[in-house]
Structure 1
Amino acid sequence: MLEQKHYDVVILGGGPAGTSAAITLARTGASVALCERSRYQENRVGEMLSPWIRPLLTQLGQWEQFRQAGHLSCPGMVCCWGNSQPYENEFIFNPYGSGWQIDRNSFDRSLALAATEAGANVFFHTLVVDVNYEERFWKILVRKDGELRSFKANFLINALGRSQFPHTKEKIYLDSLVGVAQFFQNVSDFAIDDRRTLIEATEVGWWYSAQLPRGKAIAVLMTDRDLLPVKPKDLEAYWKKSLLTTIYTIARVNFWHSANKLHIYDARTSYQDSFSGQQWLSVGDAAATYDPLSAQGIIKAISNGINAAHAIASSEFSHAVSFNDYNEALLSSFATYTTERHLYYDRERRWEHTSFWQRRQGNHKFLYA
């Protein structure tokens, strides 16, 4: 029989939401285990972080380390949306300074190491095999480097991102958005004299492009999955054809070389039917996923993780705890986001009769049942 290690909290998933919760909980003296399936080696599609990341990282004690990690400061965004003339959204008046283009792998890994330093037990390359709630405790079976391990926990935090947590219903999706991304290597600084993120709308969706740290760059076509070619071999031609319809994105990408293969990732807006239950909470993308256009994903994840940790810590690890306030806060944030998302998409009317834009315009309202 496997030895069962008992923790106050077990966290499934080592993205920014899970690691932020682990750091915060460990600092209260709670015993914490965090299980992350990877070693943070694969390419992770990130985003530009707004200046509001600074107070969150300061709260986690990670701001100075972040500043020294080689991420690129970003003065703002350039948007070509609603008409062919670009406009700027600068951070010059933000009290926290510039935004940031991040190396997502490095960023996630640094938060996991910070969780370890705070006292959490972080298990890399660890897959969740089974999760059950029995006799007022969570029992978790995982596989680390091929070896089975068993944990027992008073509380469980679901930070599995877009993966399905077995103790919740299927997520509710509001669209079918995907990103078709290409990473570029060996991009010289002079090839991109503007570190601002570029957003450019097109007939089939919109483009996102940015310089990344360490001589990298990224260009992403955001569109609906059913609008992509059925045959994978036709995807590259479709991506390039759409790129040719841009004005400003193609001017950037033409300077970039040494590209990797295209990568498709899920970017759908979704929410969980419940953000918490009997001694468990969902955080970050496991609770709700936002359109990358909002540029809120990572900031939302860290904020969720911190708030979830405070909700558990303030309960004094009681089995009778209620997470109503946590639920209401997440629900309110998601409702605000969906309203803002609709208003922004509604501003682009050049292709209002095409499928992508019709699906996002008109009288849309988020109702939580």
Structure 2
Amino acid sequence: MTRHKVYDAVVAGGGPAGAVAALVLARAGRHVAILDDEPAAAAGAHKIGESLPSAAALLLRDLNLWPDGTAAPHIRSTGMYVSWGSPALHERGPVQDPYGAGWQLDRLRFDAFLREAAYAAGAEPFRGRAVAAVDDGPGLRLHVRQEHATRELRCAWAVDATGRHSALARHRAVRRRQDRLVAAHVLVQRQNLSSVGEPDREARTVVEAEPDGWWYTTLTPAGRIVAHLTDPDLADPRLRTPGGFLQAALHTRHIGARLTAWDVTRPPTPRWSAAHGVRLVPYGGRGWIAAGDAALAFDPLSSQGILTALHSGARAGLAVALCLAGAPPRPVLASYTDFLDGVAAAYVRHHAEAYAAETRWSERPFWQRRGVVHQVVAGMQPHT
């Protein structure tokens, strides 16, 4: 194993939470590295989790990332159409949001923008994936897997921003999983637009419930994303094939209507992503703290995932900076815990209200399970 230099902090994960945590630490004058092993984006690549509420503008201003972070080609959202609890579509416009319209992001571009801001502030990029964190007296030794070797990084603090997997924190805390929700999703690219008819400019997200889950579609700068949310044991096997996924989407009442402007003669292969809610207990400890989905992840129905990742990343970075400056870790981590606990409580309440509003298929397993989940304390069960 090859040793490497010592850092004040190492941030594992280069998504919004990790990039913002590193940005805050670098601006505080700390020697920080960002571990990121994401491959270069291939043609047609995409990342779901594309909705950014308008309230994010306040934080982006505080971080001096406004307005560049949400500038074109990111698309200003004009609201939602929802078929939930009724076959009809109901409009939810930005007028219902006290901060106005949000954005539909090209996530790969947005995440890269945040990382570049962190690098410009002095954070060091480091290719690799953290696979373990070992206590080492006052700090930690991180084992980092690279393409042809395993490296060792030493740091006073580590920020786990590795997503729902919680690569560093999973052996130091309990993960409480809400359910087993997964998303099957495709991106229909702009070059596949039909030469017949007008281009698709509908910027509203469409959400449609069905007996075994729900669908959504939204327009992003990279193209139109179509996703189906369900439980793994309820997923129709045909959703795993390009043709099967497309046919299922086209047979919906409202989602399919949004695909008529696109050339879908060569549909892409669906990708599958975890979409369940998860909560880490605790969110931090001696020499480590979790942020983003590693600490608290949401069902995509909330549309709050990126916003919470940004806030938790900023607060995690500030917490580590305070501890490195000599503040007692216990009250600093207690304050961070109070913040995330408040976010989690609001999420669980709104999640329960949202799923309770759909009563058409209350006897079906998908909807029955959501009713049972809401009876669990904090909406999340222990999971290893």
Number of aligned residue pairs: give it: 366
Amino acid at match of 1:108: D
Q: 1:240 to 1:217 in 2, by over 3 A?
A: closer
How far off is 1:339 after superposition? 1.4
More displaced stretch, 254-263 vs 277-286 = 254-263
Q: Could you tell me how far 1:69 is from its partner in structure 2?
A: 4.2
Q: How far off is 1:330 after superposition?
A: 1.1
Amino acid in the other structure paired with 1:21: A
Inter-partner Cα distance in structure 2 for 1:65 and 1:193: 22
Establish whether residue 248 from structure 1 lines up as the match of residue 250 from structure 2. no
Residue 18 (structure 1) shift: 0.4
Indicate the residue corresponding to 2:11 in structure 1. Answer: 11
Moved over 6 A (4+): none
SS, match of residue 117 in structure 2 = helix
Select 2:117's aligned residue among 114, 117, 121: 114
User: What aligned pairs does 1:249-328 form with structure 2 within 5 A after superposition?
Assistant: 249-257=255-263, 258-318=266-326, 320-322=328-330, 323-328=333-338
Aligned counterpart, 2:164: 162
Look up the SS of the partner of 1:6 in the other structure. strand
TM-superposed CA distance for 1:113, in Å, is 0.7
**Which stretches in structure 1 are left out of the alignment for 5+ residues?**
none
1 CA distance for matches of 2:147 and 2:249? 42
Residue equivalent to 1:210: 218
Work out the CA distance in 2 between the residues paired with 1:232 and 1:132. 44
Q: Give how far 1:319 is off.
A: 8.4
Structure 1 residue corresponding to 2:360, chosen from 347, 350, 364: 350
Read off the aligned partner of 1:183 and give its amino acid letter: L
More displaced 10-residue stretch of structure 1: 153-162 or 331-340: 331-340
Distance 1:51 1:8, change over 3 A: same
Distance 2:368 2:244 in 1: 21
Shift in CA distance, 74/319, structure 1 to aligned 2, threshold 3 Å: closer
Q: SS state of the match for residue 29, structure 2?
A: coil
Q: 1:140 aligns with which of 121, 139, 142?
A: 142
Judge which range, 44-53 or 317-326, deviates more: 317-326
Residues 228 and 238, structure 1, Cα contact 8 Å, conserved in 2: no
Matched, 1:198 2:201: no
Mapped contact 1:178–1:225 kept (Cα < 8 A): yes
2:180 matches 1:176: yes
Asked whether the 8 Å contact 1:76–1:89 carries over to 2, the reply is: yes
Q: Which residue of 2 aligns with 1:225?
A: 232
- Provide the C-alpha distance between the structure 1 equivalents of 2:273 and 2:21, rounded to a whole number of angstroms: 25
Alignment partners' CA distance in 1, 2:274 and 2:96: 33
From 55, 61, 65, the equivalent of 1:62 is 65
Shift of 1:331: 1.8
- Give the match for residue 76 of structure 1: 79
Which residue type is aligned with residue 366 of structure 2? Answer: F
What is the distance in 2 between the residues matched to 1:71 and 1:165?
31
TM-score (norm 1): 0.91
90-99 vs 179-188, greater mean Cα deviation: 90-99
How far 1:244 sits from its partner (Å)?
A: 4.8
Q: Does the Cα contact within 8 Å between 1:13 and 1:158 map onto a contact in 2? A: yes
Query: SS in structure 2 opposite 1:265?
Result: strand
The equivalent residue for 2:91 is 88
Equivalents in 2 of 1:130, 1:348: separation in Å?
A: 42
Letter in 1 for 2:160: N
The structural deviation recorded for 1:53 is 1.7
What secondary structure sits across from 1:360 in the alignment?
helix
